[in-house]
Amino acid sequence: MTVEYISLQPSGDKMPLIGFGCWKIDPNDGAETIYNAIKVGYRLIDSASNYKNEKAIGRGINMAIDEGIVKREDLFVTTKLWSTYHKKEHVRPALEKQLEELGLDYVDMFLVHFPLPLKHVPIEERYPPGWYQNNDEPVITLDRAPMHECWGAMEKLVEAGLTRNIGVSNFNVQLLMDMLTYANIKPSLLQVELHPYLQQEHLVNWVQSQGIAVTAYSSFGPTSFVSTGSKRAKSVEPLFENPTVKDIAAKYNRAPSQVALRWSLERNVAVVPKSLNVDRMKMNLEALNWKMDEEDVQAINQLDMGLRFNDPMVNAQKLPLFY
Ligand code: NAD
């Protein structure tokens, strides 16, 4: 049976299983894209300070609300704490700034974007600051901002009503196990890179067994990373050309993209695909409306290569975050 929502702990809020991703949306396209996404039926918007487009995303959300297409409470807005704001005193000002950019009073989910504290860049100096602290020179400067203090400040945002839920992204089991020893509010959600070429089965199973929901990002594997210049993405067989994916798509008269999304949903893992094209937006949303036989899920399970595309080690930062 198709489940359209995941119930989050501890709030009991219902998070849509399919949302709309906002990474790499040009601010000039942002408002119209998000307006279209809501109009075709998306109810979850996956945003972040570091996507450098929150003002435009917020305009799109508010256009849809103002036109009466949705009410604010029908939407589930996710955004993320950027790494330069991990110190406990910077967490609340960061979300307040993001709410101002988005034109919203609260978000539904606030995620720690990476377990990576970067040197603080004051909001008045540069916003959003991006990865590098020094005028965009490709140098990473770490900060002494312990995660337990950052998380304590995240918990206060829930108490203040600025976010309904809090969670993490790009964390591994070790970090989560540690977090569960001190969290007063358990993380509701883990968002990580997941697709047929990077399945992270043990991570997903353990996290779900703890009552923590999982969202896959970059469900189409290399597709999103070709435009970033990733050699890894360019050298691997495109996911949509993979014979197993293509055969399963043909069997159900579906597109390969729908197979990738459906495979994730079969693991009760939420997805946040991104497309500027309205037909593709609809096509991706339709991954909710069918089922894949277990033998096909198993066939896709065989495609795992442990191949990570969003890897700061192979990007300019050369940071071995996942090692
Ligand atoms: P994605 O896997 O959604 O792929 C997007 C690419 O696929 C685009 O090039 C798009 O044109 C193409 N595409 C979309 N629908 C298609 C279809 N039906 N047929 C053919 N091509 C199609 O990529 P993504 O943007 O990397 O990931 C989705 C979202 O996940 C992001 O937008 C962002 O919100 C989130 N994300 C989070 C993190 C994190 O660190 N937490 C990192 C990356 C992405």
How far does the centroid of ligand 1 lie from the alpha carbon of residue 302, in Å?
22
State the catalytic residues.
51
> Position of tokens 């990007």?
315
pTM above 0.75, yes or no: yes
Q: Which of 52, 234, 236, 274 to mutate to test the pocket of ligand 1 (most atoms within 8 A of CB)?
A: 274
Q: What pLDDT is attached to residue 135?
A: 65
For residue 20, list its beta bridge partners.
45
Residue 1 has pLDDT above 60, yes or no: no
Residue 250 has pLDDT above 60, yes or no: yes
Rounded percentage of the chain residues whose pLDDT exceeds 90: 91
Nearest to 118 by CA among 126, 106, 109: 126
Mean pLDDT of the chain: 95
Q: What pLDDT is attached to residue 2?
A: 45
Higher confidence at residue 14 or residue 317? 14
Nearest CA to ligand 1 atom 30: 217
Give the position, in ligand 1's atom list, of the atom nearest the Cα of 280. 18
Residue 3 has pLDDT above 60, yes or no: no
Evaluate: CB of 108 within 6 angstroms of ligand 1.
no
How far does the centroid of ligand 1 lie from the alpha carbon of residue 259, in Å?
15
Evaluate: CB of 273 within 6 angstroms of ligand 1.
yes
| 143 SS3 class | coil
Q: Which of 217, 230, 279, 282 to mutate to test the pocket of ligand 1 (most atoms within 8 A of CB)?
A: 217
d(CA 252, CA 22): 29
Q: What pLDDT is attached to residue 132?
A: 82
Q: What pLDDT is attached to residue 139?
A: 82
In Å, how far are 47, 70, 251 from 44, measured between CA atoms?
10, 12, 30
How far does the centroid of ligand 1 lie from the alpha carbon of residue 196, in Å?
14
**pLDDT tens digits for 255-280?**
999 999 999 999 999 999 999 999 99
> What is the pLDDT averaged over residues 98-116?
98
How far does the centroid of ligand 1 lie from the alpha carbon of residue 20, in Å?
9
| 15 SS3 class | strand
> What is the pLDDT averaged over residues 84-107?
98
Domains and CATH numbers, the chain: 5-301 (3.20.20.100)
Higher confidence at residue 133 or residue 60? 60
d(CA 156, CA 153): 5
179: left (phi over 0), alpha (psi -120 to 50) or beta: alpha
Q: What pLDDT is attached to residue 304?
A: 98
